[in-house]
A and B are shown apart, each in its own frame.
Chain A
């Protein structure tokens, strides 16, 4: 059934997009910081997975957790060192994240060099469900992304820290007056962003060769996703990922992959021209 295949392809591509985009949109939503370092963190997640599986010989699933923790910690550290003081200076925040991205990526080149590395995942087979073929890895990504989304929603809506984050998002000064330690929230938000980037890197790593520049393309795509979906909106990021994912899969199946890229981008421009805040963007 071709349509089912196209649908599944679209959803699995959407899941990878969403996975990277969510971390980006959370940091922007809560802190109004455009985190360019997100792609570099994604790359670190992939490399961390490689070293944990190849050097420490852990199994892949534990490596995912390990990568998430490593990248989360690095991100939290960077936030504590750099971002707590400059919350109100938007441009400086963006430039700092750019500088961080440059630093991490280029240190990555110097350290890892261009030697191609691969991560072997225990679930790299293909299964066939009623004529629809799907990589188990991709299925895993879909399931995990969905689980993460549910977990995040829960955390943001129900937990105390989640409430603190939402307070800071709405009005950092008022939040401070209410006794919320805004600096902690900053560090925590970046940590969450880092964890998500790390997980994304870990999950995507078995599907491609590792290079220090591997974070660039996902970062660009993640930006397109959050611009389309509305910056700061998690449901928006999910919706935009689905739109782009399905556009990509339908166009490349029925037309050509080039056309898919064109169409996706034209779609983004069209939406922005009519509604610059994005599909589900607010403010």
Chain B
């Protein structure tokens, strides 16, 4: 069972990875003593490229690509340049400061930019690159303008190119190790979850901004440190297009090498730096080579060299996956039917007490469309409430308002006595209100087991621990995930990529992830959608169990009336953004207004007068 972060091809084991990595470093160390200055220079440039590519890649887990990594490199370089030249600081003192200043700039750039996604985020960060570059060129008194800064201080203890070689090799090795640790930590897992299904991640308790900003800032820190060494190595910095080209190349390294694996960033950086520099081509020819190679790789191996290779060769290293079995084979319809009968509404523990959730006169409008026109409803602890209504009635919008994905224009949402309006979705989830989505059911790139791990938050969230401790060593989370695998019957799929398991199992997994997050109220958006036959019965059995055995209140958007009738204590009918009727399933089913809303006026009258 693979619990690592690389899927679905099984990568070589940790032992092989560590072994081959050490071998490479050993070879490079030996080269440090034997190589001529010319070759040493080539490798030094490659080491810088590796640091940049690896530090850039962390944010890429979330499927967000920034376009200002070169700016952080530049901040680091200029920090060292200006402090050593103007203030006579010793080089080594400037290094941490270079990292911190680059990190601070990432914080400043990241806060507004991370409100956007995709191409918008890409271009906004590019905008910052352009602006900062322009400032560097024009603020002559501060940065020396076009002429740059010369005579940058050398590190004490480093007197030759060999010294720089080992310093940068060590920097590259440290960077690879640090980011490999992040990859295997809870933080890495959450970043991938945010990349796969951002809404689902937030709805099950994963913070969006904190995690992404963290990745952005930490990546910048390392770029800054690299910049610091670079400035000292080259002894001179000037604006030119340093930041633009670095940002461009870093992107190309990662895409060509393959962003899924950390070694991809290393391979991409090495390939695209080593060859052109080694061949001693002119800068133009070098760029043509890089460009041509990039286009070729994207056409032939679009996910990157290492990913395509791993997929093709992976079977050599790993045991064959057992094919997933069909759901129905596991539980016979007879067993399910018997189980389902046990959960008739009359059999449930009495629902009582203070309402768990109070929705008070919630209104929301999108442009000219009044999606919700004043909805009021309650959910009591351990209760199962069905929300039904024709399409477009506002059911999902209601869920969005409750779970923090939309902000009501009017009214309040009170959960356990506390107003939820204005809270971020992940905070709401951590307070016990978890929801599912129709579209993103699971985190497809992660294994079934890892999906559960995402939901299993430790009770006290310590960022340092989350970033450093390997997730598979986290006893609390793994033991809880093991429990959930057993409880939901997911053993045979635990190691498979969630995107590859049968749809019915995926839906069950979706519920399991939510349960992992310890909800007191679980809002399910069409949990039966796309299921049929035994799968529906199985899901119904699972949901009924949640209310019965775990005491979780359920709020269920569903179109399948038989399910609603048997699962729910109460049903709320929405139509055109308002509550049309409310009551027991039987009462609602017979209500003429409800029939009219679903089937039309004449049928409504006919039924009513029948």
Contact = CB atoms under 8 A, between A and B. Distances in A.
Interface of A: 28, 32, 34, 82, 85-86, 89-92, 94-96, 98-103, 105-107, 109-110, 216, 220, 223-224, 226-227, 231, 258, 261-262, 265, 268-269, 272-273, 276-277, 281
Interface stretch (B284-292, B329-337, B424-432, B582-590): B284-292
B298 A99 contact: yes
A189 to B, nearest CB: 15
Q: Bin chain B's interface residue count.
A: 35 or more
A102 B293 CA distance: 11
Contact of B124 (A100, A258, A276): A276
Greatest chain A CB density within 10 A among B248, B291, B292 is at B291
A101 B294 CA distance: 12
B112 A273 contact: yes
Contact of A223 (B123, B134, B299): B123
Interface in B110-150: 112-113, 115-116, 118-120, 122-124, 126-128, 130-131, 134-135, 138
B123 A86 contact: no
A96 B255 CA distance: 10
Nearest to A28: B119
Contacts of A226: 123
A99 B65 contact: no
Given A32-B119, A220-B130, A98 B112 contact: no
Given A96-B298, A224-B130, A268-B127, A277 B251 contact: no
B290 to A, nearest CB: 7
A101 B287 CA distance: 10
B294 A99 contact: yes
B284 A110 contact: yes
Given A82-B299, A231-B119, A100 B291 contact: yes
B138 A106 contact: no
A276 B119 contact: no
Contacts, number: 112
A276 B113 contact: yes
B305 to A, nearest CB: 14
A227 B295 contact: no
B241 interface: yes
Nearest to B64: A91
B252 A224 contact: no
Given A34-B122, A96-B295, A99-B252, 10 more contacts: A28-B119, A86-B302, A92-B302, A94-B251, A98-B294, A100-B295, A102-B287, A105-B287, A106-B291, A227-B127
Contacts of B251: 91, 94-95, 98
A103 B130 contact: no
Given A99-B298, A106-B287, A106-B288, A261 B123 contact: no
Contact of B134 (A106, A231, A261, A273): A261
A276 B65 contact: no
B295 A265 contact: no
A276 to B, nearest CB: 5
Contacts of B113: 276
Contacts of A220: 130
Contact of A272 (B124, B248, B288): B124
A261 B288 contact: no
Contacts of B65: 91, 94
- Rank and list the top 6 A-B pairs by shortest CB-CB distance, nearest first: A102-B291, A103-B291, A99-B294, A106-B287, A99-B291, A265-B131
Nearest to A269: B131
A107 B288 contact: yes
A105 B241 CA distance: 15
A258 B138 contact: yes
A21 to B, nearest CB: 13
A210 to B, nearest CB: 17
Contacts of A272: 112, 124, 127
Given A92-B255, A110-B288, A276-B112, A268 B131 contact: yes
Contacts of A276: 112-113, 115-116, 120, 124
B122 A94 contact: yes
Contacts of B138: 258, 261-262
B119 A90 contact: yes
A107 B285 CA distance: 8
12 contacts: A34-B119, A90-B118, A92-B302, A96-B294, A98-B252, A99-B252, A99-B294, A231-B120, A265-B130, A268-B127, A273-B112, A276-B113
Nearest to A258: B138
Contacts of B295: 82, 96, 99-100, 103
A102 B272 CA distance: 14
A262 B288 CA distance: 34
Nearest to B248: A98
Contact of A95 (B131, B134, B298): B298
A102 B256 CA distance: 15
Interface in B244-298: 248, 251-252, 255, 284-285, 287-288, 290-292, 294-295, 298
A268 B120 CA distance: 14
A201 B302 CA distance: 32
Contacts of A281: 120
Nearest to A113: B284
